[in-house]
Amino acid sequence: MKILGISAGTRNGRNDSICKEALLGAKEAGAEVEFIHLYDLDIKYCTGCNSCVRQMMSGKGNTCVVKDDFNWLMNEMLEADGILISAPIFEKGAPAIFHSLMDRFGPRTDKGMVIAATEIAKKTGGMAPDPRYLKNKVISYIGIGGSDWMTRVQCDFSIHAMSPAWKVIDNEAFSWSGAILVEEERIKRAHEIGSNIANAARDIENAAYKGESGLCPHCHCREFYFKPEGTVTCCNCGIEGKIEIQDNTYRFVFADEQLRHAHDSLEGKFIHCDDINVNTEKAMQLMNTPEYREKIAYYQNVITAKKPH
């Protein structure tokens, strides 16, 4: 059993140290551990070219065309049974390098799309995506912030786990953490996070969330999109319902039918794939019209991009 720790913070700083403390907890629980400092790697941003999607839907695998260290990192993550990610909190959320990592996961790691692409490859005799993308995996996140501006980071983290449908075990955000390395209770918590993920990786089929309960009873998210008509949508799993006050406590309530639409469930992913297929077909029909090509040509030439000298 292997647990991989990834730090997205300053080299040899608090994120590295807390990530290593969590790895020590995992090691104590019987895991083999490895550590990667994200800034040692060349991770470029996703360009949204959709090449991986076109490959998947035509039985040609799911390779990313961007040439950098991401494929190496992805291989390391796929080889691990569990993953720990520690990242600083920037402007309430995760830093840019984490978002680049999250965006590069994208459709090529989405479990629903990988299953669909595997079936397409079987029917066409083509190349299926790496089967390791279908392996169940556990992941935990630690956010480290210098103040109480941290209300976005846990949602950022859980969105990263959504595409591959990896089970989140802990999703911790430490506020006012400038001196965290000498704060005994927080060091114990980091150690516990490592122990939790090692134990979860040992029995992935029965792994369960160990962090504080959020407002959404399904994904534990605390962030919601409020609509004028009175309904709300969980910003992570997409379940729609209402916020009610019961016993002086906020509760998110929703119909059981909503669970099949959850973005982190296989059924929800298949619904999403069907929706994308329908809308892509409509878009392709419009994109093949003279009117669409005229619009593209117009906007290409009406204002040109300014570039540095």
Domain residue ranges of the chain, discontinuous segments joined by +? 1-211
Q: What's the pLDDT score for residue 106?
A: 87
Q: Is 251 left (phi over 0), alpha (psi -120 to 50) or beta?
A: beta
Q: What's the pLDDT score for residue 236?
A: 96
Q: What's the pLDDT score for residue 234?
A: 97
What span, in angstroms and rounded, lies between the C-alpha atoms of 170 and 174? 12
Q: What's the pLDDT score for residue 40?
A: 97
Give 183-235 as a DSSP string.
-HHHHHHHHHHHHHHHHHHHTGGG----S---S-TTT----EEE-TTS-EEET
Please answer whether residues 229 and 59 qualify as being in contact, where contact means their C-beta atoms are separated by less than 8 angstroms.
Answer: no
CATH number for the segment(s) 1-211: 3.40.50.360
How crowded is residue 145: how many other Cβ atoms within 10 Å of its Cβ? 20
What span, in angstroms and rounded, lies between the C-alpha atoms of 194 and 197? 5
* Residue that has been written with the tokens 């040899």 in this structure: 12
How crowded is residue 121: how many other Cβ atoms within 10 Å of its Cβ? 18
User: Averaged in consecutive runs of 10 residues, what is the pLDDT profile of the chain (309 residues)?
Assistant: 97 97 98 98 93 90 92 96 98 96 93 94 93 96 96 96 96 96 98 98 96 94 95 97 94 96 93 90 93 95 92
Residue 38, CA atoms < 13 Å, CB-side half-sphere: 27
Q: What's the pLDDT score for residue 276?
A: 87
Q: What's the pLDDT score for residue 134?
A: 94
Q: What's the pLDDT score for residue 57?
A: 87
Q: What's the pLDDT score for residue 309?
A: 83
| φ, ψ for residue 143, nearest 5 deg | -105, 135
Please answer whether residues 201 and 3 qualify as being in contact, where contact means their C-beta atoms are separated by less than 8 angstroms.
Answer: yes
Q: What's the pLDDT score for residue 207?
A: 96
